[in-house]
Amino acid sequence: MNNQFINIFSATIISTSLLFSCAPKKKVAATPVVEAPKIQAPKVEDLGVLVPFTRETFFKLRDNGLDIKKLRFYVDNTIALNKIASTGNLEINEVGILVNKKGLAENLIKITAQVAGMVESVEPDGLRLNFGRPNSTLKFINNTSSPKFFNFCGEKIDKATGNIDVSYNSSTYRATCEGCSNVSEVKLLIKQLDIDAGIGKGTIEPGASNKSMLGY
């Protein structure tokens, strides 16, 4: 009698276990995966291969009928222009920054390798380029001092100190080079593709956006 009871009890437990094990399991909703927003880095223009702009290249392009004012030029090192406080329109603000009377900081302007310049005028001893600021140019000479390349040239050079000053943006700035010992070593560069195009091997890429500021 006891054995029969035990067998019935065991069978009941097994049946109950099978009943629960065969029951459909409730699905647990998957936690949605939220992707972090993608931050796009600012696009940097691919300048391709830049080569020094030489006197030979200038005449080669000119002889092929190319208007040199349609080309974009670059510098091989950053030119830093620090404003010289010589006008009553400037003052030092509470944190020691040189500002104009409107409170706008203008003690430093940088012409970097990514800034495109365009020829505003061709002079007997070099080129004057505009780098995007209206009525402001920098000169690059090609003469006996720089017979091969077009090098940066200041308007006033202090031989004792080596300081080089230029007139820019209606003010006087002291020019220095970030990456070389002397700002006079800064050379003009040009895209190799533009040289190839200028001698009939391709098409000239449109000029920089500052073209509208220039008189051509």
Q: Could you tell me if residue 7 is inside a domain?
A: no
Rounded percentage of the chain residues whose pLDDT exceeds 70: 59
Q: Could you tell me if residue 62 is inside a domain?
A: yes
Q: What DSSP string describes 34-80? A: PPPPPPPPPP------EEE-BHHHHHHHHHTT--GGGS-BEESSEEE
For CA atoms 102, 81, 43, 135, give the dihedral sign. positive
Global pTM reads: 0.63
Q: Could you tell me if residue 111 is inside a domain?
A: yes
pLDDT band at 139 (very low <50, low <70, confident <90, very high): very high
At 126 the pLDDT is 94
- pLDDT tens digits, 76-121: 999 998 887 655 555 556 655 555 555 554 578 889 988 899 999 9
Q: Could you tell me if residue 15 is inside a domain?
A: no
Q: Could you tell me if residue 187 is inside a domain?
A: yes
- Give me the domain span that covers residue 204: 50-213
Q: Could you tell me if residue 60 is inside a domain?
A: yes
Look at the chain and report how many structural domains it folds into.
Answer: 1
Q: Could you tell me if residue 40 is inside a domain?
A: no
Q: Could you tell me if residue 31 is inside a domain?
A: no
Q: What is the mean pLDDT of residues 137-145?
A: 91
